[in-house]
Structure 1
């Protein structure tokens, strides 16, 4: 009897999805769960020698060499923390999306909240009742119809934002990595050379691009100076795409109307689990909506991602091309792993 290939789910979060992964797989795999701090080193070495695939977040120094590893799959999108040198030569690194519907809905909700102020209106009405007004006498609020949303990064998330914004009658402008024909009802689709135009036209600026050397600090003090005074910035990508100090100063001074921030500059660590999300006191500003990096975090997103992971393992087992292949490992730093 031929032994099935093995896949290691590495880390506590991944191990928690063993049952779900097995349910979604349609090919035969030996699914191994490994919480490194609870697994004997000899056992981990034995598993690593035979593993053809690994599903994990960021691996740590306890990871041994993986001589047969063909795929390193992460069950999320961002991969700015790893390079090809850190994976075995020839190993394909894949990511997973599936969060774009949830994040697009979050962005639409955020824009609607800025226009309508539902939470503030509800709170005020609870406290003050009618205050002498009659039905239909206000307070008034804004509309999204006719407003311009600028999408910085016209990829998976950007396209979903455009489709939903179009349904609300918004004008849509966007920037992509390369020239593409306008689609999804958008007014124009440019490249990074059109950034100033995008900034000057946007009532809402949705940051949806990946973090890399070209996008780090892309939205800086000069960018804020080019924006409308009534503009609202929404960052669901990565914190450092927007310069931290410039963002805080622009919000504090009122040079822009506000911000919705879901991605940050400081994250909890074992040594500081309650760290503030920024060195600047964004929490003291009343023109900021703050959320803890959860814009895409729905039960539906999680299920879709693990279905994708299972489907990619099925493709590997059948010898079919993998989806969301990002790069191939070079093995230059993999030799530093435990032997």
Structure 2
């Protein structure tokens, strides 16, 4: 059985070979071939263009993450199945809670070094920090990630509101309120922290724009661990620059470096230069434990394909 692992995940081919064992050929590719059929039983890739999809001759496209927006589903040949994988919710939830606690505890107000010369003055002028307890947290998107964030936020005594497509009530032990995304404008004025962890599609692209950012209370925090494009790029920059938005923790970006192309800034606007932005390079999910979980799942799914069993985490099947 032939498996191709393409792009950013190609260096993990040895891990996959070890998990699959004998009977599986795992080929690591920096990129898809420029022309001709792409033939394999399974392909592991984050991004597949329409042109590449049309050349695929495989049974399974296994996306090595949750987001599938970079796979041209409609161009896939009939019979091709697309699956994704989770397992990232725990580190992302921890990253998010860290961002929330950092926002309210404000460690940047403390002296960089507490030595004898600084001690007397810093002790006499100790700044007050705030508390996360009692603050309202709105979570847009309530899948695996949103639920793990809510679970931790409840432990810190926060009032949690889940914002979902349907507004169908979520588990009472996780949230205090569930509202549909159509009621987002009613929620934002109460949200001391707004966390975005929804998929990117036509309904969520630009969901948070200038009007939505204006509705947030003074000093509010925005955490984006979804996709950058859920937030209007220019509106976000202006709201932060003008301090209408208190702070943002951004782990997802509008532009990414591409191999063989000149370096780019992560945004058209210098978001990363603003003092009220916590800029991280898309690392919220990346832990050794995540890789173990994801590759164990993908190896098991490939084995299911080999054995003719039902695949897990089915996202799309081309007709």
Give TM-score, length-normalised by structure 1: 0.85
> Is the deviation greater in 110-119 or in 289-298?
110-119
In structure 1, how many angstroms separate the alpha carbons of the residues matched to 2:201 and 2:32? Answer: 35
In structure 2, how many angstroms separate the alpha carbons of the residues matched to 1:211 and 1:240? Answer: 7
**Alignment match, 1:8:** 4
Q: State yes or no: 1:131 paired with 2:125.
A: no
Q: 1:22 aligns with which of 17, 21, 42?
A: 17
Q: Are the counterparts in 2 of residues 239 and 264 from structure 1 also a CA contact under 8 Å?
A: yes
Unpaired segments ≥5 residues, structure 1: 331-339
In structure 2, how many angstroms separate the alpha carbons of the residues matched to 1:127 and 1:134? Answer: 11
Q: Are the counterparts in 1 of residues 16 and 26 from structure 2 also a CA contact under 8 Å?
A: no
**Alignment match, 1:337:** none
> Is the deviation greater in 82-91 or in 167-176?
82-91
Unpaired segments ≥5 residues, structure 2: none
1:1-339 equivalent positions in 2, closer than 5 A = 5-11=1-7, 13-25=8-20, 29-35=23-29, 48=39, 51-59=40-48, 65-67=55-57, 69-123=58-112, 125=114, 129-132=118-121, 134=123, 138-183=126-171, 184-270=173-259, 272-330=261-319
Q: Are the counterparts in 2 of residues 174 and 198 from structure 1 also a CA contact under 8 Å?
A: no
* Residues matched between the structures, number: 317
SS in structure 1 at match of 2:26: strand
**Residues 41-89 of structure 1, C-alpha deviation per residue, up to 9 Å, x if partnerless?**
8xx96x82xx32222232476789444x221101112211223233221
Higher relative CO (CA 8 A, sep ≥ 6), structure 1 or 2?
1
> Is the deviation greater in 275-284 or in 157-166?
275-284
SS in structure 2 at match of 1:123: coil
In structure 1, how many angstroms separate the alpha carbons of the residues matched to 2:54 and 2:129? Answer: 59
SS in structure 1 at match of 2:249: strand
Q: Are the counterparts in 2 of residues 36 and 62 from structure 1 also a CA contact under 8 Å?
A: no
In structure 1, how many angstroms separate the alpha carbons of the residues matched to 2:34 and 2:241? Answer: 52
In structure 2, how many angstroms separate the alpha carbons of the residues matched to 1:127 and 1:86? Answer: 67
In structure 2, how many angstroms separate the alpha carbons of the residues matched to 1:120 and 1:126? Answer: 16
> Deviation of residue 179 (structure 1)?
3.1
In structure 2, how many angstroms separate the alpha carbons of the residues matched to 1:62 and 1:228? Answer: 46
